[in-house]
Amino acid sequence: MAWWQTLCLLFGLLTVLLLAGVPAGFAFLGINLVGAIVYLGGEPGLMQMVRNAMASLTNFSLTPIPFFVLMGEVLFHTGVAMKAIDAFDNVIWRVPGRLAVIAVVAGTVFSAISGSTIATTALLGSLLLPQMLARGYHPKMAMGPIMAIGGVDMLIPPSALTVLLGSLAGISITGLLVAGVIPGLLLALVFVAYIVWRSWRDPSLAPSFDHAPLKGWARWRPLVVYVTPLVAIFLVVIVAMSAGWATPTESAALGAAATIVVTVVYRSLSVANLIAALRGTAAITGVILFIIIGATTFSQILSFSGATNGLVSLVQDSGWSPAVVLTAMMAILLVLGCFLDQVSMMLITLPFYMPLVQHFGFEPLWFGVMYLICMQLGLLTPPFGMLLFTMRGVAPKSIPTSQIFAAVTPYVLFGLAMLLLIAIFPGLATWLPGVLLAR
């Protein structure tokens, strides 16, 4: 069987299984079973598949994932995150689109202490969306910022998917975590500027309302008490990694421990909400790890069948310039993001992408950040963007799904603009890691 026939067969089967509603983990498992028998030698292939699964689950580089997820789960279940939102509510006032701005600012802070994009979107959606709608905000102005800043969670560390990408792609996890900071913060600033401008141009989108702010220390105290420790946790994690004082795993564990200590000091941690946080962490991590089980075997099947070498050689011999190849790679990710979850995207594309990255000499951190932005956009693009479904779950049923899609459109365009900007100016992604990780 020619390599292109194998490629069509494997991805054809994968497409059929996913369209049939089979969970991604089970879809990859089914393909791996067939591929192990056909391409890896029958029973020895099945044994290799088992060994690969064990190697995946015991991969030390993946251990930051549950710690990063736990940080966010603890803050959400203990209610500390809600207190932080109240603190921003006291400080931000007399700004057009005030509540939408609060959503972006709060979401940015939560991104710095949470490894779950879905949790951030669900929290902000359940707390701020009803308030904005009740005060006359247009549904697009109310929903768009919440979904958009949830996607930025992937760029600002800690991020479980960033750890996973670094592990699967062989890119420095510490470098990749640091590299996403500037693009993530720039996107958040652009979102705030857009909200203020749109609300100023058309006040009907976000009507102002009487707000008697607190004065003096009473106004700033909640910010100092409830937000400063969260920012400090983020700085501890980043500094510990970038200074070489701790590995990503140790930094993640340090951040999780600091988060628990903070909630204890606030007297917000109870046995019940700790158990709820641990269950949430186990559920999210379990889903990710179950899909990862198929990563190594799937890559081996593609390699043994000749599909990887065949496709990579085709691109290398095509005479395309590096810019054209990079554009095609990003375009494929953007299309896949409309239909697949982010982990599946990584498992499908990385076996082909990383040889091309090495062949064309792309800087790994630069490429990794652009890859993350494409995955972030996948969370926001219809028809199967995960954050669109999350918003559908918290938004009133009277709001049509088409309006949810329309609400996120401007922010998707901003993400595409940031992707282009980083492609033209790689220093936006590589400068900060070069400064903090220089030895």
Interval 289-322: pLDDT, tens: 777 776 667 777 777 777 777 888 888 888 889 9
Closest to 8 in 3D by CA, of 305, 336, 295: 305
The pLDDT of residue 44 is 80
Q: Is the pLDDT of residue 426 over 60?
A: yes
Q: Are 109 and 84 in contact (CB under 8 A)?
A: yes
The pLDDT of residue 1 is 66
Residue 9 C-alpha from the chain's centroid: 30
Q: Is the pLDDT of residue 4 over 80?
A: no
- Percent of the chain beyond pLDDT 90? 25
Query: Is this structure's pTM higher than 0.75?
Result: yes
Q: What is the mean pLDDT of residues 350-364?
A: 91
Lowest mean pLDDT among 44-53, 97-106, 265-274: 44-53
Question: In the chain, what are the domain boundaries?
Answer: 3-436
Q: What is the mean pLDDT of residues 364-368?
A: 95
The pLDDT of residue 116 is 66
The pLDDT of residue 365 is 94
Q: Is the pLDDT of residue 439 over 60?
A: no
